[in-house]
């Protein structure tokens, strides 16, 4: 597993400081970031559908990384680099304005009030998005938890550099046109929950 992961490592062991994006993705036209990819089906689908982009994908969960690796190997996909760890550590090492699309798909909802500070949508992490995203970059957030959807809308509404796209009248129930779904989403749908698909755009830098 370690050897298999080495070919896909976003942060090879010996590297320190800012990530060498050109070294990781010499030919990529754009750099995208997925946070908390679970088993990696969405990572593989986006990488296959967009071969010109470079996709950095982060997940704490080692079994999820192993599953994602299998999808990448099976699909012969070489435009993805994986970070088995905290997405915030990887973001800290990205240059300003380097990311043109961020996916945060079904982030852990942390329903108890005393755990809300663990939610990925937070002022600190929005600062990090703001720094690493290019002008015009897109942030996609999916969630099946009404309170987390409200939380996300409220936090982003406090950020003048992010605009909410789409029509609020639809309550953001329409999936994106290139949406392959995720494993967590399939479970949420089976259990009768209704997802929302939120899209934000970063303004000019």
The footprint of ligand SAM (CB under 6 A) covers 35-38, 58-61, 64, 86-88, 105-108, 120, 182-185
31 or 43: whose CB is closer to ligand SAM? 43
**CB atoms closer than 10 angstroms to residue 33:** 27
CA atoms 11, 14, 16, 22: torsion sign: negative
The distance of closest approach from Cβ of residue 66 to ligand SAM in the complex, given in angstroms and rounded to an integer, is: 13
If the CB atoms of residues 135 and 146 are measured against ligand SAM, the closer one turns out to be 146
Say which residue the tokens 């973001």 belong to: 91
Where do runs of H (alpha helix) occur along 40-193? 41-49, 62-75, 87-92, 123-132, 146-157, 183-190
User: Nearest approach, Cβ of 136 to ligand SAM (angstroms)?
Assistant: 24
d(Cα 56, Cα 69) in Å, to the nearest integer?
A: 13
Between residues 115 and 205, which has the closer beta carbon with respect to ligand SAM? Answer: 115
Catalytic residue among 86, 108, 127, 178: 108
| Dist CA 81 CA 90 (whole Å) | 11
Q: Provide the minimum distance between the beta carbon of 58 and ligand SAM in the complex, in angstroms, as a whole number.
A: 4
Min CB(18)–ligand SAM separation in Å: 19
Instruction: State which residue, 37 or 151, has the beta carbon closest to ligand SAM.
Output: 37
99-114 burial string, b = 16+ CB within 10 Å, else e? bbbbbbbbbebbeeee
The closest residue (CB) to ligand SAM is: 36
167 is catalytic: no
Q: So which residues are the catalytic ones?
A: 108
């Amino acid at each position: 597993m370690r050897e298999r992961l080495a070919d896909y490592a976003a942060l090879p062991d010996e590297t320190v400081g800012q990530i060498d994006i050109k070294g990781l993705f010499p030919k990529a036209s754009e750099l995208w970031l997925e946070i908390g990819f679970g088993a990696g089906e969405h990572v593989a689908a986006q990488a296959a559908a967009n071969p010109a982009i470079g996709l950095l994908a982060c997940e704490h969960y080692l079994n999820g990384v192993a599953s994602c690796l299998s999808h990448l190997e099976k699909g012969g996909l070489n435009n993805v680099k994986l970070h088995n760890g905290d997405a915030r550590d990887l973001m800290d090492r990205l240059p300003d304005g380097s990311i043109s699309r961020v996916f945060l798909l079904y982030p852990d909802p942390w329903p108890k009030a005393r755990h809300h500070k663990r939610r990925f949508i937070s002022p600190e992490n929005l600062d990090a998005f703001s720094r690493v995203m290019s002008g015009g970059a897109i942030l996609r957030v999916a969630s099946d938890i009404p309170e987390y959807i409200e939380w996300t809308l409220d936090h982003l509404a406090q950020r003048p550099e992010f605009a909410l796209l789409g029509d609020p009248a639809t309550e953001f129930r329409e999936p994106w046109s290139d949406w392959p779904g995720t494993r967590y989403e399939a479970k949420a749908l089976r259990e009768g929950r209704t997802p929302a698909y939120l899209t934000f755009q970063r303004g000019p830098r």
